């Protein structure tokens, strides 16, 4: 009985750590390609600045959803300034009305890879091979993210007897 309190405290502590929801940190799975097996639903935004028209766009995402997009100072194209707007109607409208199809929904780990690749491709001297790789990864992410299915929840089973009559 002396160890029962310590054991309960350790179980509660372990449960809090394991059930902690950390949306800011992407779920890391070492050795697994995030483009082959998405880890979650695609709710992060990514703008392919090679395709973006920027300030000349007639359906500017920055005008539609200024809380999620702004213009880049380096090349005047649109860029994402905040994440977590997957349910926001204005963001969905901006993504859907983009004439160049340069805004994409991706998973957090896919976004990290795509942003790193975009930054290296935009650095002088421009590398057209990196831009082509970026396009192919976006296409692969779009395909795999459409195939992603949420993990199935186990049905809740009750051992309690319920008298329906």
pLDDT tens digits along 55-79:
889 889 999 999 999 999 888 899 9
What CA–CA distance (Å, rounded) separates 95 from 89? 10
User: What is the overall mean pLDDT for the chain?
Assistant: 81
Per-residue pLDDT reduced to its tens digit, 2-39: 677 777 777 777 766 666 655 444 455 566 788 888 88
CA atoms of 65 and 42, how far apart (whole Å):
19
**Model's pTM, two decimal places?**
0.70
Q: What are phi and psi of 22, to 5 degrees?
A: -120, 80
Q: What are phi and psi of 100, to 5 degrees?
A: -95, -5
> How far apart (Å, rounded) are the C-alpha atoms in residues 48 and 93?
17
Residue 48 tokens, joined: 């392919």
Q: 138-152: b or e for each residue (b if 16 or more CB lie within 10 Å)?
A: beebbebbeeeeeee
């Amino acid at each position: 009985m002396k160890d029962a309190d310590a054991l309960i405290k350790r179980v509660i502590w372990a449960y809090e750590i394991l059930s902690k929801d950390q949306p800011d940190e992407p779920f890391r799975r070492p050795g697994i390609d995030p483009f082959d097996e998405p880890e979650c639903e695609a709710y992060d935004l990514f703008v392919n600045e090679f395709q973006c028209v920027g300030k000349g766009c007639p359906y500017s995402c920055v005008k539609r959803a200024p809380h999620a997009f702004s213009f880049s100072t380096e090349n005047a194209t649109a860029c994402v300034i905040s994440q977590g707007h997957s349910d926001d109607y204005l963001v969905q409208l901006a993504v859907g009305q983009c004439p160049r199809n340069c805004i994409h929904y991706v998973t957090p780990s896919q976004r990290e890879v795509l942003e790193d690749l975009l930054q290296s491709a935009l650095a002088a001297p421009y590398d057209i091979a990196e831009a082509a790789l970026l396009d192919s990864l976006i296409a692969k992410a779009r395909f795999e993210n459409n195939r992603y299915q949420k993990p199935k929840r186990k049905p809740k089973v009750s051992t309690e007897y319920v008298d329906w009559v």
